[in-house]
Amino acid sequence: MNRLIVISNRVSAPTDSNSGAQGGLAVALSAALRENGGIWFGWSGEVTDKFDGHINFQRSAGVTSATIDLEAQDLEEYYNGYANRTLWPLFHYRIDLAEYEREFAGGYQRVNDRFADTVRPLIEGDDVVWIQDYHMFPLGEKLRERGCGNRIGFFLHIPWPPRRLLNTLPEAAELAKKMFAYDVIGFHTQEWLESFFDFAEKDLGATIHENGMVELGDRRVLALADPIGIDAKEFVEGANSPTARLAFRQMRDSAVGRDVIIGVDRLDYSKGLEERFRGYERFLDKHPEERKEVFLLQIAPPSRGTVESYQKIRSALEGLAGKINGAYADVDWVPIRYVNQGYPRDQLAGIYRAARVGLVTPLRDGMNLVAKEYVAAQDPDDPGVLVLSRFAGAAAQLGEGAVLINPYSAEEMSDAIVTALRMGREERIRRWRLMMDNVEKEDVIWWRKRFTDALMEEQTPAPLPEIS
Ligand code: ADQ
């Protein structure tokens, strides 16, 4: 069996202290590393005065991690700069927020060189390398330049934008060409995959074959849609744990008979939080009879706080929540409970379960795991309703059971909330079953295996089932 070398910006291999708090991705990759042996390589999260290529090895819960420290300037240009101020907004269709600065692009290349230099000596014989996400587009090519002939895969966790948007990036073609250094590349949905095909064909002159093989000059890469899932089994267990039961009871007690509408998102402009608040405001305005029957619990831990656009969205949301609460609250009721902290996964599962409606309304999202977690946490005999944005990757899998909306439309959001609140138990169970079947079947292990099978065995995976 081949060893696996996973490379990502941050390493979230289990440590003795965080094993209960890991997300599905970390769980899936750690399981793969445990089965195959190998190393998880990435940035340590630490800053050093002078980069010296020192690698810190750690072994915990059967997984070896190898990390490097980076310089403050690296982080400013590569992480806060190119990754989060250039690529993230552009790939989420926000060219109005994307910043195209040469020093960001330079820092991005420099850090990818640092990754390549330090990880290259760790890659042996027939190791298989799997690189994660938009922080590392050029890493495959840089490893090839350093003589790495191993099979290398790349998975993109965010959307691949339409070519007319991507072409606003000065080095769009160079960036896209780097995808051809890989043997296999994966996207969450058919839509992102097709956007890649479109760019490859029209802007690079590549040839797309039926089986997903894309040819450019003498390079061939297998491109596939491989939607990520959650660790459904573990999440269901978590939702039935004593911690979750307690969180459920506390939530229901504090709701005093009112229906809870829940949103859980990193505080990010791609998640459509302002639009969500405005949609909810429309609902309050149009349905005075519902006002004191419900409240919105929005949990949004801040992220990327040093980037200006994130500071702006944070203060905009505080303003909006304050304005809505000011306009509608009464002595015995507040319409929005706005919370800025993170919660342990089991507690979160209990909170999801207590909510009659899950509002997952990103303006654009590669997948969105909160939608799947909300479904997995529900009581099978009395499940809540998922209101889901058409523009989340998750809509391709959960669209039959969710109430789908256009998140830009306050009217649709308001109507969907009413539909969800009034939905009878039988219909809720029917819709939930459809979604849960998918969440259980296409879980994170399925996702990982679909990719690593293609990478290790050069197999084109079966096409995804069509959802009407
Ligand atoms: P994210 O943009 O971070 O991920 P998402 O898929 O929703 O988005 O995952 C967020 C995770 O953070 C979930 O597991 C959620 O439970 C957790 N989380 C959020 N708020 C929390 C809170 N207050 N307390 C505790 N946990 C919280 C990126 C892409 C997505 C893609 C994933 C995986 O943007 O589209 O689905 O990667 O590929």
Q: Report which protein residue has its CA nearest ligand 1's atom 38.
A: 157
342 CB within 6 A, ligand 1: yes
| pLDDT score, position 79 | 96
186-222 exposure pattern, b = at least 16 Cβ within 10 A, e = fewer: bbbbbbbbbbbbbbbeeebebebeeebebebeeeebb
Q: Is 302 in the pocket of ligand 1 (CB under 6 A)?
A: no
Q: Is 49 a catalytic residue?
A: no
- For a pLDDT cut of 70, what percent of the chain falls above it? 96
- How far is the C-alpha of 108 from the C-alpha of 91, rounded, in Å? 16
Q: pTM, whole model, 2 decimals?
A: 0.96
Q: Is the Cβ atom of 299 under 6 angstroms away from ligand 1?
A: yes
Structure confidence at residue 35 (pLDDT): 86
Does residue 87's CB lie within 6 angstroms of at least one atom of ligand 1?
A: no
Neighbours of 19 (CB within 10 A): 14
Pocket of ligand 1 contains residue 264 by CB under 6 Å = yes
Task: Using the mean position of ligand 1's atoms as its centre, give its distance from the Cα of residue 160 in Å.
Answer: 18
Specify whether 69 is catalytic.
Answer: no
Matching residue, tokens 């069509």: 466
Pocket of ligand 1 contains residue 244 by CB under 6 Å: no
How far, in Å, is the centroid of ligand 1 from the Cα of 357? 18
Grouping H, G, I as helix, E, B as strand and the rest as coil, residue 287 is coil
Return the pLDDT at 62.
87
Query: Which residue has tokens 């599905």?
Result: 24
449: exposed, middle or buried (C-beta count within 10 Å: 0-12, 13-18, 19+)?
middle
- Centre of ligand 1 to C-alpha 369, Å, is 6
Name the closest-CA residue to atom 21, ligand 1: 342
CA distance 424 to 9: 45
CB atoms within 10 A of CB 44: 18
> 77 alpha carbon to ligand 1 midpoint, in Å?
24
Measure the CA–CA gap between 445 and 25, rounded to whole angstroms. Answer: 9
What the block records as the tokens of 156 is: 């993109």
Cα(210) to centroid(ligand 1), Å = 33
Residue nearest atom 3 in ligand 1 by C-alpha distance = 266
Q: SS3 helix, strand, coil % of the chain, rounded to 5?
A: 50, 20, 30
How would you write the pLDDT of the chain (468 residues) with one tens digit per residue? 789 999 999 997 765 444 444 566 787 888 889 888 999 999 999 999 999 999 999 998 889 999 999 999 999 999 999 999 999 999 999 999 999 999 999 999 999 999 999 999 999 999 999 999 999 999 999 999 999 999 999 999 999 999 999 999 999 999 999 999 999 999 999 999 999 999 999 999 999 999 999 999 999 999 999 999 999 999 999 999 999 999 999 999 999 999 999 999 999 999 999 999 999 999 999 999 999 999 999 999 998 988 999 999 999 999 999 999 999 999 999 999 999 999 999 999 999 999 999 999 999 999 999 999 999 999 999 999 999 999 999 999 999 999 999 999 999 999 999 999 999 999 999 999 999 999 999 999 999 999 999 999 866 677 777 654
- Per-residue confidence (pLDDT) for residue 17, from 0 to 100: 46
Reported as a single tens digit per residue, the pLDDT across 127-165 is 999 999 999 999 999 999 999 999 999 999 999 999 999
Amino acid at 217: G
- Phi-psi region at 62: left, alpha or beta (left = phi > 0; alpha = psi -120 to 50): left
Q: Is 93 in the pocket of ligand 1 (CB under 6 A)?
A: no
Q: Is ligand 1 within 6 A of the CB of residue 347?
A: no
The residues that bridge with 225 in the sheet, in sequence order, are 187
Distance 371 CA to ligand 1 centre (A): 10
Relative to beta strand 128-132, strand 4-10 is parallel
Set 92, 157, 183, 268: catalytic member: 157
